[in-house]
Amino acid sequence: MRPTKHSFTHAVRRRAVAVLGALALLTGIGVGTATVAQAASTGAITGYQGLCLDDRSASTALFNPIQVYTCNGTNAQQWTVQSNGTLQVLGMCLDVSGAGTANGTLVDLYTCNNTVAQVWQPGGNGVLINPNSGKCLDDTGWGGSGTQVQIWACSGGANQSWTVPGGGSTAGGGSFVVSEAQFDQMFPSRNSFYTYSGLVAALNSYPAFATTGGTTVEKQEAAAFLANVDHETGGLVYVNEIDQSGDYCASESYGCPAGTYAYYGRGPLQISWNFNYEAAGQAIGQDLLDNPNLVSTNAAIAWETALWYWFTGTGNGSVTSHQAMTGGSGFGATIRAINDIECNGGNTAEMQDRVNDYESFTSILGVSPGGNLTC
């Protein structure tokens, strides 16, 4: 397989990332998850500084803010953890506004409607993950009593750690569905930079990855991600783009402080362009705009940038790669999200190479590849 410069980062602007929310809300895509609890339990949900998750003013109005507040034992703080992954108070559900997927999307109260905006699942370090967005319930800015909560890229910080009734802390999580031996089998000639431990470390920031929808879907998502990575890097051989002469400095207010020619492709999905380095850095808490070489010198950061795109980028498609694999769109939709110029006959050979990788990796993981493999 030849490493090539693909266009998935060319077509995606920071302002165009994460557009699926409204679509998911309208269609009511079902997501099977490892839910917060197996049976309904009711009580307080506590977070940073011992504050309670609270329905402001005990209102049942649609879009009423959900905040952190001094624990007071009132019904506005009595949350029922349902087996379908919803968190309910006063007969209403904890809801990501508009099924949004962007950092800072507010969390409020809404009629329970069985959509992905209302599903929450546990992850490591006590986080509560909304699998549609891949982001965590977040005490905004480590705010004090009265601060409305939001979703934000999972960081494992104390402001994203919650204790739920009936289950204690949500911390726990499971091991990655791809073992190190399977990883080695998939990438027998990989560059030593791309460590398995670096990938596993990066998963802490994206705990919804390969943990959503049951064992088959989880393994299919892992295989799909790694198949695209295999194609982009020639089997995890290449860390940096071979041709580094391209001008990937778009006209943005923040410019290109690392240099006009500094934003070539790096890492497992070959992130390029200044606006992608800026957006990815914002999401994972690293200054990649000023220090793009972090993607080629720190394995965990490199894997995080790839996972960032997996959860946010749609290319010219309508779903992110994560949503494609957990919502039933199939592997072909991940190709469209990552490099849509291969679709619709644009480059059938390159597209088929990705499919071949995916089928090989699902075989290693012992699951069917499912349908809708091409684009």
Lowest mean pLDDT among 11-15, 276-280, 339-343, 344-348: 11-15
**Mean pLDDT of the residues in the chain:** 83
Does residue 20 surpass a pLDDT of 80?
A: no
Say which residue, 139 or 84, is predicted with more confidence: 139
Q: Which of 253, 257, 251, 268 is nearest to 309 (CA)?
A: 268
Report which DSSP code applies to 207: T
Question: pLDDT tens digits for 137-162?
Answer: 999 877 788 999 999 988 767 788 88
At position 108, the amino acid (one-letter code) is: D
Q: What is the pLDDT of residues 62-81, one digit of tens each?
A: 999 999 998 888 999 999 98
Is the model more confident about 352 or about 16?
A: 352
CB neighbour list of residue 169: distance below 8 Å, 6 or more residues apart: 126, 161, 162, 163
DSSP string, 49-97: GGPEEEEGGG--STTPBEEEE-----GGG-EEE-TTS-EEETTEEEEEG
Q: Which has the minimum average pLDDT: 194-208, 211-225, 281-295, 322-336?
A: 194-208
Strand order in the sheet with 135-138: 121-122, 128-130, 135-138, 150-152
What is the token pair recorded at 196?
């398995």
pLDDT at res. 346: 95
Mean pLDDT of 235-240: 96
pLDDT confidence tier of residue 40, bands split at 50, 70 and 90? low
d(Cα 117, Cα 95) in Å, to the nearest integer? 5
For residue 10, the model assigns a pLDDT of 34
Work out the average pLDDT over 42-46: 86
Q: Which pLDDT score, from 0 to 100, does residue 166 have? A: 66
What percent of the chain stands above pLDDT 90?
58
Active site residues: 232
Written as six digits, the tokens of 183 are 């990883």
Q: Which of 6-20, 93-107, 299-313 has the lowest mean pLDDT?
A: 6-20
pLDDT at 91: 93
Q: Identify the pLDDT of residue 125.
A: 65
> pLDDT category, 278, cuts 50, 70, 90?
very high
* Angle, CA of 332, 334 and 337, to the nearest 5°: 115
pLDDT value at residue 97? 95
Phi/psi-derived region of residue 165, left when phi > 0, alpha when psi is between -120 and 50, beta in every other case:
beta
Q: Is residue 100 a contact partner of residue 21, using CB atoms and an 8 Å limit?
A: yes
> pLDDT (tens digit, 9 = 90+) per residue, 240-256?
999 999 999 999 999 99
Structural domains of the chain, ranges and CATH numbers in brackets: 14-23+175-365 (1.10.530.10), 37-169 (2.80.10.50)
Contact 56, 64 (CB under 8 A): yes
Whether the pLDDT of residue 168 is over 70: the answer is no
Q: If pLDDT is split at 50, 70 and 90, which confidence band does 310 have? A: very high
C-alpha dist (Å) from residue 63 to 95, 110, 143, 199: 8, 6, 20, 37
| 375 or 124, greater pLDDT | 375
